[in-house]
Structure 1
Amino acid sequence: MATYKVRVATGTDFLSGTMDSISLIIVGTQGESHKQLLNHFGRDFATGAVDDYTVQCQQDLGDLIIVRLYKERYSFFKNPWYCNYVQVCAPNGRIYHFPAYQWIDGYGTLALREATGKIAADDTLPILLEHRKEELRAKQDFYHWRVFVPGLPNYVHIPSYRPPARRNPNRPEWNGYIPGFPILINFKATKFLDLNLRYSFTKTASFFFRLSPMALGFKLRGLVDSKRSWKRLKDIKKIFPGNKSVVFEYVAEHWAEDSFFGYQYLNGINPGLLCRCTRIPDKFPVTDDMVAPFLGEGTCLQAELEKGNIYLADYRILEGIPAIELNGQKQYHCAPLCLLHFGREGNLLPIAIQLSQTPGPDCPIFLPSDSEWDWLLAKTWVRYAEFYCHEGISHLLETHLIAEAFCLAMLRQLPMCHPLYKLLIPHTRYTIQINSIGRAVLLNEGGLSARSMSLGLAGFAEAMVRALSEINYDNLYLPNDFVRRGVQDLPGYYYREDSLAVWDALERYVTEIITYYYPCDAAVEGDLELQSWVQEIFKECLLGRESSGFPTCLRTVPELIRYVTIVIYTCSAKHAAVNTGQLEFTAWMPNFPSSMRNPPIQAKGLTTLETFLDTLPDIKTTCITLLVLWTLSREPDDRRPLGHFPDIHFVEEAPRRSIGTLRQRLAQISHNIRQRNKCLPIPYYYLDPVLIENSISI
């Protein structure tokens, strides 16, 4: 007789346990055990439980390769079960680990492979080759791609999704799901997601418990019903009476200053737009006479261009998108150009703004020497354009939607035993769930884009479609992006310093993992599962656009390292850079307006405080926008910081050692950031690894 000691761990989240019957078969290279019910006196498989059992076999099973779990009816009510892992101690004392980290919903069988990471070429046993094929077949039958907006990355198909419906069509401010929430949003649609894609109970409860009181508070104060202009700027600060950080207070106090306007291009929530300007474009006819007073003594525009001190923010991607009506009032839109100068004092300052891509007599170039309100309104129009480039392009498209495509392709093309699956799975946690919520909030009729943005749903989507058509693979390799934009040596660019430090740590980690499992280029090129993953991303995310430069196959180890580093960085640090500071930089609405109610100014000297306030979003639009941004920037509980992988997918010594080294490197980066921030008037901490999530989960 051979005795095997079995340990089964149930998840710790609320309701992870089950009352159903669980049986097990152990499969080895020399046979398999009989099916045995795992049962003790009392409760088995309770939430957070680690249960031990003994399985007797007639003979030694050899090396263990698979365990099969059977979930069968015990009572009248079935309930799902979250299994963390199964661990088996063989008669010779060797311990085998079988990771699960997934739900079993209903009744059925779950076959788990031993945890050693293997590409298909490493599998020689027919039973293992068949297991990985069957796993992929099942996942490809279950997860399908779906077109949401033509021209944007495709996303996971939810067959039973039902469109939102209002309880009371006569109360357009209210929807059928969250009382008082001022836009139409169908959170219930997320219940149709596979359990393995959904938030944990803890995260779900945290998300909604924080959302509902804020929504009801706005409703009770009458803010989401008022279509009036703001009477005073200081009234805007009263929207959020509490929860004001140091950065929020700084933004509210210094938002109108040129130095802070320039600072946001470097260390705000959209720090990847600015480019060095070596030649003034014809469409922006700035002359030396216009800007000479702002360049300092003893220099001129041409000299500053040659020195590399002139920078350009060009919002051409927004040109020509029509605006809509909000609250019965026509909205307006523009695609501005902004020229900035890095001066001897170490500040990046705006020196010229044009509110159109086409110069002309009705499109003056605004200068710091213009009247206070003309210049402030011109800068506010630029910040309005920033709203769309940030929320639509840098944030939603370039992190959320692209990351979802990475995730879904991984689920469909890589089996759980694949080393790339093990490497990537922590960086996909909850991404499909939050994107489902995002689509319900942002990209649906009656949602945020339709109720609070000048461009509306169609215009917001059009901006993203244009951006996807221009995305280039080489620019997603972070060091290349800074060189391409000519900002690799721009002082005071803390985003660049921190992002490159995190990138380096991730790239070294990926290199160690990849070279362990792929000893040569032939192993990469011959991995058909890997190639299918890459091809599916090219097809479903980049929509087959060859000009994107995205590979359709990978042939060398360095190519694979670069590709995987891009994926992990996009799913973690890149998202943190554009998401974490959202509320701090946007809660003071004039710094980040989502709509404008008067056309771009066509003549100088006419702007007053009254016209400025009448141009900004009305009270209702302001509150709708800030409520959603508040919701989507408040990280719910159950978060996992970058480098913390509590789910054990890797069991080999080398990758486990690499994970420990990664955490040490990230801890040093965190220490360096905190020491630097002690000396800064505005701390930049959005890329502190402690605050970066492993995945896009909010």
Structure 2
Amino acid sequence: MVSYKVNIYTGDLAHFSTFHDFRITLVGTDGESNPTKLTTWIPSFKLNPFTHKVECTTPLGELLAIIVQKEHHLVFPNGSWFVAKVVVESPMGDIYQFPIYRWITDCKDHYFQEGSAKFLSQEEENITQLCWTKDLEEQRALYSWDQPKDGLPYSIKAESYSSLPLDASFSNKKKIEMWLTIGTALVELKLTEWVDHKMKWTNIEDIRRLHCCHRTEISEYVYQNWKEDSFFGYQFLNGVNPMMIQRCVTLPENFQVTDEMVFKDGKQSLTDEMKKGNIFLCDYKMLDGVKANIIDGKQQYLAAPLVLLHKTDDKLMPIAIQLKQIPAEDNPVFFPTDSEWDWLLAKTFVKNADFNMHELSSHLLRTHLLAEVFTVALLRQIPMMHPLYKLLMPHTRYTLMINCLARQLLISDNGIFTKFASSGGEGMFTILRKALSSMTYRSLCLPDDISDRGLEDVPNFFYRDDGLKLWDIIHSFVKGTLQYYYQSNQMVQEDQALQKWIGDIYSYGFLSEKNTGIPKRFDTVGELVKFVTMVIFTCSAQHSAVNAGQYDFIGWMPNCPATLERPPPSKKGEATEKTLLDTLPSSDITVQSMAAVWLLSKESTDSEFLGNYPEQRFIEDVPLKNIKVFKEQLNELSLQIKARNKALELAYTYLDPEVVENSVSV
């Protein structure tokens, strides 16, 4: 007889062990053990293992797989068991690791392969091929595509967030924290007494009473500077939506601005300044024709402005704003030389447009919904022993759960966005469809996007500076890891699981639109490395850039109102402070929008940040070394960003790796 030592790691405060007995079978190249009954009836709240022995008549050879079965329990028939990993020591002293990190909820046989990453073509044994097949069968039974509204990406099929598989759900800690946060948001912000008030503001400083209850260092800076043109321009670079601005080389035909309008002294011309690269444009044409919301029976308004900016003394200064796309007598172009209230009102319509484009296109679509597509495709097409699964799983954490909550609580017929945003209701789906149809692969790859928008040398563009460094670090990590497994382009071409993964993304995420530039398949290692870099960047860094600063920049409502209650001005010279106040949302809408962006940008206490992988899915030396180098490079970048920020009047922190989560989890 020979004895195998089996260590089963199960649980922490979020994942605890089972009251069930279970059986384990060890399978090797020279045979398999009898199913051995093991007992673990004491809940474990730490990662110390349960240690057991499996006796065999002869050695099993090289250990290939384990088969685990949870036995039926009369008292706890539906009990679930989370298995982190199993480590087996053979009689000869060889160590075999089985990283699992899954819940077992039924009493069927579950097959888990030894933890070295492999491709199907490398599976020579029947048992390892069976592990591959069984894994995909189980995953596809749990995760299915669901067709949303026409023209939108597919999503996970789930009746509600509570019907998701346990592996896709929040930890118990995260669940409790989330519901407490939602339940106490208005209390914590000290806004409860304002919820039922529907009064219009009579003074800008009245809004300050709400903002005073919860301020951040940046939101206070926003309050102090929101009227300033230089800060208005700054936010297109380093606010929550750095995705709209582009260098202007030719004025749009529908933006009829002349030299005399913007350069009163006659010393400069638009043509010369465009040639120098000093003119920039933000065009919200995607909002043109979008049906504005009706809130509490009152019509709301949403403009589709064009904004022209001029780089002056390393600052971006707005020089012209047109609030509607079609030039007309009742669609004047506004300038900084207009009256204070005319100009501020025009900028307010721009900021409202930016809010709606940010939340629906830059935030929801380009991070949340795409991350969900990447995740579902991964779970359905890539088995757990595949290197791509091991690489990407940390970047899918909580994504399906948070998106189910978003569909239920934010963008449903009775959701928060429908209740307080000017594009809520029918309008938000119009914007999402337009945004998806115009989105390209290049726009998702930061180096390409920055180049295509002509923003390579814009000064004080910290989103670009930090983002490109993060992109390069992620790219280096992905390249080193994937090249270790894919040693030729042919290996990429012949990996059917990989090709099915990108095929799902192309079909279900981008609706098979060729114009997006999304690949249908991969032919080279370089193509694969770039795409996986984009996936990780989107799920981590890009989401942080457009999510983490929401309360900072939107908490002071006049800087970025969610909706507006009067139409865009059709004449100049008529706006007053009262005009602006009548245009801004009422107090109850202000309160709800403040609470929403506070919730959306609130960091969880169980967040996992970029480079931290507590679930050790890789076991080989090369990928483990790559992870170590990855963390070191991220730490160095974090130090550089902190040092840079000390010299800035307004720090840019959203791409500091210390605050960038691995996944779209909030």
TM category, shorter: over 0.9
Say yes or no: does 1:465 pair with 2:464: no
Say yes or no: does 1:621 pair with 2:609: no
Query: Which letter does structure 2 place at the counterpart of 1:439?
Result: R
Question: Would you say the 8 A contact 1:219–1:225 is kept in 2?
Answer: no
In structure 1, the residue matched to 2:39 is: 39
1:433 to 401, 412, 418: 401
Say yes or no: does 1:669 pair with 2:617: no
SS of equivalent residue, structure 2 residue 422: coil
Q: Tell me by how many angstroms 1:95 deviates.
A: 0.8
Say yes or no: does 1:308 pair with 2:277: yes
Residues 267 and 245 (structure 1 numbering): CA distance in 2 closer, same or farther, change over 3 Å? same
Say yes or no: does 1:70 pair with 2:69: yes
Q: Tell me by how many angstroms 1:15 deviates.
A: 5.6
In structure 2, C-alpha distance between the alignment counterparts of 1:673 and 1:146, rounded to whole Å: 41
In structure 1, the residue matched to 2:152 is: 152
Q: Taking every aligned residue pair, what percent have the same amino acid on both sides?
A: 40
Say yes or no: does 1:341 pair with 2:340: no
Question: Would you say the 8 A contact 2:248–2:279 is kept in 1?
Answer: yes
Question: Would you say the 8 A contact 1:227–1:327 is kept in 2?
Answer: no
In structure 1, C-alpha distance between the alignment counterparts of 2:130 and 2:53, rounded to whole Å: 28
- Listed one character per residue, the Cα deviations across residues 37-89 of structure 1 (whole Å, up to 9, x for unaligned) are 2237x736566442111111101111111111111134412321111100001
In structure 2, C-alpha distance between the alignment counterparts of 1:429 and 1:217, rounded to whole Å: 27
In structure 2, C-alpha distance between the alignment counterparts of 1:142 and 1:18, rounded to whole Å: 21
Query: Which letter does structure 1 place at the counterpart of 2:649?
Result: P
201-210 vs 356-365, which moves further: 201-210
Question: Would you say the 8 A contact 1:99–1:115 is kept in 2?
Answer: yes
SS of equivalent residue, structure 1 residue 65: strand
In structure 1, C-alpha distance between the alignment counterparts of 2:362 and 2:145, rounded to whole Å: 23
Question: Would you say the 8 A contact 1:218–1:224 is kept in 2?
Answer: no
In structure 2, C-alpha distance between the alignment counterparts of 1:217 and 1:4, rounded to whole Å: 55
Q: How does 1:165-564 map to 2 (within 5 A)?
A: 189-215=160-186, 221-293=192-264, 298-343=267-312, 345-564=313-532
In structure 2, C-alpha distance between the alignment counterparts of 1:507 and 1:329, rounded to whole Å: 49
In structure 2, the residue matched to 1:60 is: 59
In structure 2, C-alpha distance between the alignment counterparts of 1:292 and 1:81, rounded to whole Å: 70
In structure 2, C-alpha distance between the alignment counterparts of 1:218 and 1:104, rounded to whole Å: 40
622-631 vs 306-315, which moves further: 622-631
In structure 1, the residue matched to 2:91 is: 91
In structure 1, the residue matched to 2:103 is: 103
Q: Tell me by how many angstroms 1:108 deviates.
A: 3.1
In structure 2, C-alpha distance between the alignment counterparts of 1:44 and 1:495, rounded to whole Å: 46
In structure 2, C-alpha distance between the alignment counterparts of 1:553 and 1:108, rounded to whole Å: 35
Q: Tell me by how many angstroms 1:587 deviates.
A: 0.2
In structure 2, C-alpha distance between the alignment counterparts of 1:246 and 1:695, rounded to whole Å: 26
- Listed one character per residue, the Cα deviations across residues 599-646 of structure 1 (whole Å, up to 9, x for unaligned) are 100101111111100101111111122212111111222111100001
Residues 81 and 235 (structure 1 numbering): CA distance in 2 closer, same or farther, change over 3 Å? farther
1:643 to 582, 597, 611: 611
Unmatched tracts of structure 2, length 5 or more: none
In structure 1, the residue matched to 2:572 is: 604
Question: Would you say the 8 A contact 1:15–1:47 is kept in 2?
Answer: no
Question: Would you say the 8 A contact 1:218–1:623 is kept in 2?
Answer: no
RMSD: 1.5
Q: Tell me by how many angstroms 1:299 deviates.
A: 2.4
Question: Would you say the 8 A contact 1:316–1:336 is kept in 2?
Answer: yes
Query: Which letter does structure 2 place at the counterpart of 1:199?
Result: F
Residues 11 and 240 (structure 1 numbering): CA distance in 2 closer, same or farther, change over 3 Å? farther
Query: Which letter does structure 2 place at the counterpart of 1:135?
Result: D
Q: Tell me by how many angstroms 1:211 deviates.
A: 2.0
Query: Which letter does structure 1 place at the counterpart of 2:109?
Result: T
Alignment size in residue pairs: 665
SS of equivalent residue, structure 1 residue 101: strand
97-106 vs 334-343, which moves further: 97-106
- Listed one character per residue, the Cα deviations across residues 504-540 of structure 1 (whole Å, up to 9, x for unaligned) are 0000000001110000000000000000000011010
683-692 vs 132-141, which moves further: 132-141
In structure 2, C-alpha distance between the alignment counterparts of 1:262 and 1:640, rounded to whole Å: 33
SS of equivalent residue, structure 2 residue 570: coil
Question: Would you say the 8 A contact 1:17–1:48 is kept in 2?
Answer: no
In structure 2, C-alpha distance between the alignment counterparts of 1:367 and 1:114, rounded to whole Å: 67
Q: Tell me by how many angstroms 1:218 deviates.
A: 7.5
- Listed one character per residue, the Cα deviations across residues 298-339 of structure 1 (whole Å, up to 9, x for unaligned) are 422221111110000000000001113212211112100000
In structure 2, C-alpha distance between the alignment counterparts of 1:22 and 1:53, rounded to whole Å: 12
In structure 2, C-alpha distance between the alignment counterparts of 1:530 and 1:213, rounded to whole Å: 44
Q: Tell me by how many angstroms 1:355 deviates.
A: 0.3
Q: How does 1:561-576 map to 2 (within 5 A)?
A: 561-576=529-544
In structure 2, C-alpha distance between the alignment counterparts of 1:202 and 1:44, rounded to whole Å: 16
Query: Which letter does structure 2 place at the counterpart of 1:146?
Result: D
121-130 vs 102-111, which moves further: 102-111
Question: Would you say the 8 A contact 2:112–2:131 is kept in 1?
Answer: no
In structure 2, C-alpha distance between the alignment counterparts of 1:98 and 1:14, rounded to whole Å: 20
Say yes or no: does 1:143 pair with 2:112: no
In structure 2, C-alpha distance between the alignment counterparts of 1:249 and 1:227, rounded to whole Å: 25
Residues 291 and 220 (structure 1 numbering): CA distance in 2 closer, same or farther, change over 3 Å? closer
In structure 1, C-alpha distance between the alignment counterparts of 2:463 and 2:247, rounded to whole Å: 16
SS of equivalent residue, structure 2 residue 418: helix
2:558 to 587, 590, 598: 590
TM-score by length of 2: 0.97
SS of equivalent residue, structure 2 residue 425: helix
Q: Tell me by how many angstroms 1:449 deviates.
A: 2.5
Residues 231 and 145 (structure 1 numbering): CA distance in 2 closer, same or farther, change over 3 Å? same
In structure 2, C-alpha distance between the alignment counterparts of 1:527 and 1:141, rounded to whole Å: 22
Question: Would you say the 8 A contact 2:111–2:134 is kept in 1?
Answer: no
98-107 vs 683-692, which moves further: 98-107
In structure 1, C-alpha distance between the alignment counterparts of 2:314 and 2:187, rounded to whole Å: 45
Q: Tell me by how many angstroms 1:474 deviates.
A: 2.3
In structure 1, C-alpha distance between the alignment counterparts of 2:337 and 2:95, rounded to whole Å: 75
In structure 2, C-alpha distance between the alignment counterparts of 1:297 and 1:672, rounded to whole Å: 43
Query: Which letter does structure 1 place at the counterpart of 2:153?
Result: P
In structure 2, the residue matched to 1:27 is: 27
Question: Would you say the 8 A contact 2:382–2:388 is kept in 1?
Answer: yes
Q: How does 1:8-27 map to 2 (within 5 A)?
A: 8-14=8-14, 16-27=16-27
Question: Would you say the 8 A contact 2:260–2:266 is kept in 1?
Answer: no
In structure 1, C-alpha distance between the alignment counterparts of 2:35 and 2:236, rounded to whole Å: 63
